[in-house]
Chains A and B, each alone.
Chain A
């Protein structure tokens, strides 16, 4: 057949691939053919591609070892275009599609000929564990240079250099029972739980549900196991409250049964998600699952045996050989030697032989194996060599032979003569390691079970392990265990156990496995050819031995010294062997040695799936005021204030030239000082406070007095924490005797409301008062400047007479026909009216003000002008002029401190601590640069003595600094040690460029020190 000639290792029949259709793909630029149903790995093996990568440290050629998530070598870079590049994809988990393009991630300049290989071949003594640490440590400054080359030669894949064309999303899921793994245990657990009525999610990382049943030799009800699996899947699919998720890896198991599932929705179709009905669909989806109960049916990973040169291409896991033969119709070689420590491995030899290929020998470490599978192999005429193991693979780029010898496991030595068998494939089985990664994510330590020679999951609340994940491997027992787990989980979630008729499975007699973690060699470990423990991180048995000799006794230290179980591999194949070797070297048992901690993610997750739709314009909420559209239309530049978009300044375009920020701000400032300006202040936090104890409450949370504030009046208040440090400020208006409207800073709104609730709910629940946010209900516009009254008079029915409506009064009426509360408070120092109207009507009011304001040249201004104007008046911004270490006294705001209020208000006690009484505290002052052209840098450090040698004594810093168009000079606010008593003194600000600015300490009020302008 033409296919088999182009795919030398494709069997003529068998497997679940669709031989009637061909898919073409490229690997490292070379074109190959595979079939629907293939993974990239099975297609590469079918095409006889032996070398898929170069190893991380020694740059040795590496081939495919496994058939699933545990694959350590075949980690590839995917993507036909630059934008579609995906690193770190396991070829064993990547379904083949037409036009797939993949490359090796390691190997420079290419995997066949590798520059680093010569280094790797020189042997262990040149690159011991810690090689990079030891060799490239000095000089420290060179590490960056070394690292660049190490990384290039190590090749960890690369991220795309262009924007990702795909979209990704998250789905929040909830269920009674989440079943992870859809093999025999998972399927029965899911069906049992679903029949009990529970909401069930069943996920599996493979392309199809079914797990080991997809390629099992076992019969269920006298039919292939995959048929029974399909019947179960069909029943589950028809149930309303069951969600089936193939191609979905449970990657992280977090607190309280929160599990993240990574579903690859279109990765099997193309490298860019195809559109459906012209609509985009997400390429990957992260399911954020909150499960009442979790059934861990993740099965087990086969452990490879650790023998010399066990990394040469052609060395595979026994189970992987079976999977490639039975599921994909691929025999990755011609002549097989199987080396095993248990019965299960025998299946690989039986499958190989049934595929029409030659089994050279089965090498069994046990002396007298007699299980059913062993008998089958004997009956099939396969040569059986017992009490022995493959101690070394021969070959360079592909296995060419196996050196076999009798071994003494307990004595850890080779006994007897070595026989060399010619072969091109060595399958090894050292038993199974339950896949306990997920349960370990919770922090639970796994438990060693000597009877199964493996770790099983430790106890996790709401978690039930099932089947292979807890060391049960016989199919009939696994099915039963799945039912039990499904029922346990359903019952724990409040449902009544359901019945499930199990199919007939043949119970097989097994001979016990033997513990074999490292196969002895004729030479001692340190001198034998490399015996790899962790293929992905190039950790050898000798490396672990060296680590223990160098004093690394904790397994976590051994891990870090050798890199065993690092990175995306997370020790899937190597960890148990590595720990066992460390234990032997240390003269300990395995449980004494313990395991390292497995961490999320189980396999790599693309950043896109983690980010989901929280990107681009949806990265973070943008909060808009009711007037936003106007600001946009009038060319505002915006500033982010928290999540708010606030107009920063409104540059005008004159003669086609856009005003600079400096010019715009100067113009806006002068408009307010000389005419009238308007600010959108809607972002200020606003809290409605009602209740008979509202006034008392204000007195406790503000530093100043509230007892006598009459309805119609407004007061500025300072809010401290109990450590005496300022946390927020704002005005509060008395609307009625039991009714107040508090304003907070824009950024402080949510925090202040929570702060009020904290004190009310935890300390003073007896006070009758309610707090409610009305920030969004009101739009706030500040009309300010000498012409403000004239403008307001045109649009309001409120009596604006300066006696009837004084500074720090508020009145209600209509503005532009809309009911409004108007407050005479000023953050500019000018006559100001702050108008509150219901936000739905704000645009009408704003536009009406402009319609009338034209003759006064009403000027919109933004936050920058607001900052300049308030700073000219010495008005602070909490969080800019304060930083959580500033008391009201430091701000010289004694007038706002009610020392004699009856209740010990929040922050009062702290003001009498010795530290807050120090006279050399940093205190807020004004700074006037000697050179008026200088605008000091905000954050610049201040010294008294510019001649002092470095390090100089720093005595404060600039908190706010601007150019004032009114003063035609730079000016600043700053905190300076003992500043209040240093008026008129000169301080210095040494800058990074060597300049030293001199400035005079002055009052914080630069404009209108008597406050006459706002009080007209």
Chain B
């Protein structure tokens, strides 16, 4: 049972008030007809499954009915931040890796910090919203 901070209600609520809606920052291509079938298939069906940092879309279904994003560690289940629609995460797999490098601490497990919505992935997102 997660305890989730709703960035709109500005307090923690129980998981049963929320619905998970999958990976965050999946923008619908602005011109679907310009997509190849493969690109369209990627948009529709293909999602990351990282061991480590993941950015997820949730909705406060029993509450303010607002969608927002969660940065969550898929191993510890720790929620590192929640942020409103249209905002970008302040914590990513890369930012954590940079921090750990700066602290001269090795990342616990090389395989753990795989790419969720990594900086690079966010930058290259087609039609990503500000």
Contact = CB atoms under 8 A, between A and B. Distances in A.
Which of A762, A763, A912 has most chain B Cβ within 10 Å? Answer: A762
Nearest to B75: A443
22 contacts: A255-B2, A256-B1, A256-B2, A256-B3, A256-B77, A256-B79, A258-B3, A290-B14, A723-B45, A754-B61, A757-B65, A758-B21, A761-B67, A761-B85, A762-B57, A762-B67, A763-B27, A765-B85, A904-B31, A909-B32, A910-B40, A910-B44
A254 B32 contact: no
Nearest to A761: B67
A761 B40 contact: no
Contacts, number: 59
Contact of B32 (A256, A258, A908): A908
Interface in A858-887: none
B14 to A, nearest CB: 7
B126 interface: no
A257 interface: yes
B15 to A, nearest CB: 8
Nearest to B78: A461
4 closest A-B pairs (Cβ-Cβ)? A909-B32, A256-B3, A258-B1, A761-B67
A253 to B, nearest CB: 11
B91 interface: no
B47 interface: no
Contacts of B3: 255-258, 290
A754 B65 CA distance: 8
B76 interface: yes
B33 A754 contact: no
A207 interface: no
B107 interface: no
A679 to B, nearest CB: 30
Contact of B77 (A255, A290, A754): A255
Contacts of A763: 27-28
Given A256-B1, A754-B61, 15 more contacts: A256-B2, A258-B1, A290-B3, A461-B76, A722-B44, A723-B45, A754-B59, A757-B59, A758-B21, A761-B66, A763-B27, A904-B32, A909-B40, A910-B40, A910-B44
A478 B50 CA distance: 42
Interface in B23-67: 27-28, 31-33, 35, 37, 40, 43-45, 57, 59, 61, 65-67
B76 A443 contact: yes
Contacts of B43: 722
Given A256-B2, A757-B67, A914-B37, A765 B77 contact: no
Contacts of A255: 1-3, 77
A858 to B, nearest CB: 40
Contacts of B76: 443, 461
A997 to B, nearest CB: 38
Contacts of A443: 75-77
A918 interface: no
A246 B9 CA distance: 36
B109 to A, nearest CB: 13
B86 A765 contact: yes
Interface of B: 1-3, 14, 19, 21, 27-28, 31-33, 35, 37, 40, 43-45, 57, 59, 61, 65-67, 75-79, 85-86
Contacts of A722: 28, 43-44
A908 B35 CA distance: 12
B39 to A, nearest CB: 10
A913 interface: yes
Contacts of B59: 754, 757-758
Nearest to A459: B76
Contacts of A761: 66-67, 85
A127 B85 CA distance: 62
Count class of interface residues, chain A? 20 to 34
Contacts of A257: 3
A621 to B, nearest CB: 13
Contacts of B19: 754
A763 B86 CA distance: 10
A762 B128 CA distance: 11
A345 to B, nearest CB: 38
A914 B65 CA distance: 37
Nearest to B84: A761
Contacts of A914: 37
Interface string A457-492: 000010000000000000000000000000000000
A718 to B, nearest CB: 18
A29 B106 CA distance: 64
Contacts of A723: 44-45
A722 B41 CA distance: 10
Nearest to A905: B32
Nearest to B40: A909
Contacts of A757: 59, 65, 67
Contacts of B35: 909
Nearest to B35: A909
Contacts of A765: 85-86
A910 B32 CA distance: 9
A870 B114 CA distance: 52
B61 to A, nearest CB: 7
A912 B37 CA distance: 9
A765 B14 CA distance: 27
Nearest to A259: B1
A254 B67 CA distance: 25
B37 A913 contact: yes
Nearest to B19: A754
Contacts of B45: 723
Interface string A749-761: 0000010011001
A564 to B, nearest CB: 26
B71 to A, nearest CB: 15
A444 to B, nearest CB: 8
A259 to B, nearest CB: 10
A900 to B, nearest CB: 12
Contacts of A908: 32
B40 A913 contact: yes
A114 B28 CA distance: 70
Contacts of A762: 57, 67, 85
B27 to A, nearest CB: 8
A904 B85 contact: no
A256 B75 CA distance: 13
Nearest to A290: B3
A910 B43 CA distance: 11
A762 B87 CA distance: 11
Contacts of B21: 758
A914 B59 CA distance: 34
Contacts of B28: 722, 763
Contacts of A909: 32-33, 35, 40
Contacts of A290: 3, 14
Contacts of B67: 757-758, 761-762
A753 to B, nearest CB: 8
A255 B1 CA distance: 5
Contact of B1 (A254, A904, A910): A254
A723 B32 CA distance: 12
A139 to B, nearest CB: 40
A908 B57 CA distance: 24
A254 B28 CA distance: 36
A269 B31 CA distance: 71
A904 B33 contact: yes
A290 B28 CA distance: 38
Nearest to B59: A754
A856 B57 CA distance: 55
Nearest to B21: A758
Nearest to A724: B44
Contacts of B14: 290
Contacts of A254: 1
Nearest to A255: B77
Contacts of A258: 1, 3
B111 to A, nearest CB: 17
A904 B29 CA distance: 10
Contacts of B32: 904, 908-909
